[in-house]
Amino acid sequence: MPILEIKNLIKKYHTKNVIDNISISVDSGKIIGLLGPNGSGKTTLIKLLAGLLTATSGDISIDGKKIGIETKAIVSFLPDRPYFANWMKVHYVLAFFSDFYRDFDMKKAMEMLELLNIGVNDRIKTMSKGTKEKLNLILVMSRDAKLYLLDEPIGGVDPAARDYILKTIISNYSEDSSVIITTHHIADVEKILDDVIFLNNGKIELNSAVEDLREKREKSVDEIFRENYKC
């Protein structure tokens, strides 16, 4: 059974279809790159999967369940910007995740924090943008979720931090789970991707395994993307 099944999904804002009748099936154990130019509908799709938006029509099922409390318990979502308030401390957000997510592995989170020299008493306010993003990622990847939704996980961080983030993603997901990543830094990410989906104007323009795509077009995903969406 696929971990994610989307059928004829439409999300309308006023009169515009931001997501325009898309159908996707994602199997377990895959890392999928959800790529597209600005305004293509990537973040809207991720928010629909995270249960933050309601679809206008169509069906979404995650691990066979309709979007709701049950899917939120098995979906680990990283938004495109850190969502912790400045007054919070690391131990507060750790306790928060531990209290609300049964699949949260405190030991794993502590190990990753230690590696990055982030103290449990550190305040969010004192952290750099990169450290905040790493902290968010650590919390999200410390869950034993079925589906990880990572919206721009490497946006706005230095190349060294990008490597760390990608390494964290690869080493923390299992064969029972899948990861969907949206990003504009395709060259950095494509080495870890199994499949890519190109989204444009709310429609799927390409859905393929990365290996097949490279063999067929004899180009990298980054090059294909630049060709397709040249301004």
Partner 1 sequence: MLGRLFKYEIKATSKILVPIYIAFIAITAISRISIELQVDKNSPLYFISDIGFLIFMLSAMTIFVATAIVIVWRFYRNTSSDEGYLLFTLPVKTDYIIISEFLCAFLWSIVMSVVVVIGIFLMIFNSNVGGITINFPYFKEFFSSLNFDGGKVIFIMLLDMTISTLAEIMAIYCAISLASLFKKYRLMLSVLFYIGLVIITNTLDILVIRIITHNFIPQTETISETYDTATFAEAWNSLIVPSLVSEQVIIDLIFLITITVVEYFIVRKILRKHLNIC
List contacts with partner 1 (CB under 8 A): 50-54, 69-70, 72-73, 75, 77, 79, 81-85, 87, 92, 96, 99-101
Q: Which residue has the tokens 């206008």?
A: 56
Considering the complex, what minimum distance in angstroms separates the CB of residue 17 from partner 1?
A: 17
Considering the complex, what minimum distance in angstroms separates the CB of residue 188 from partner 1?
A: 24
| Exposure string for 91-118, b = 16+ CB within 10 A, e = fewer | ebbbeebeeebeebbeeebbebbeeeeb
Considering the complex, state which of residue 46 and residue 221 has its C-beta at the smaller distance from partner 1. Answer: 46
Considering the complex, what minimum distance in angstroms separates the CB of residue 211 from partner 1?
A: 33
Considering the complex, state which of residue 34 and residue 221 has its C-beta at the smaller distance from partner 1. Answer: 34
| Pairing mode, strands 4-13 and 57-62 | antiparallel
Considering the complex, state which of residue 54 and residue 126 has its C-beta at the smaller distance from partner 1. Answer: 54
Tell me the two tokens of residue 221: 């995903």
Considering the complex, state which of residue 143 and residue 162 has its C-beta at the smaller distance from partner 1. Answer: 143
Name 208's Cβ contacts closer than 8 Å, sequence gap at least 6. Answer: 195, 196
Considering the complex, what minimum distance in angstroms separates the CB of residue 33 from partner 1?
A: 22
Q: In this structure, how many other beta carbons lie within 10 angstroms of the beta carbon of residue 129?
A: 13
Name 95's Cβ contacts closer than 8 Å, sequence gap at least 6. Answer: none
Considering the complex, state which of residue 84 and residue 198 has its C-beta at the smaller distance from partner 1. Answer: 84
Q: Tell me the C-alpha to C-alpha distance, in Å, between residue 78 and each of 46, 74, 137.
A: 10, 13, 7
Considering the complex, what minimum distance in angstroms separates the CB of residue 229 from partner 1?
A: 26
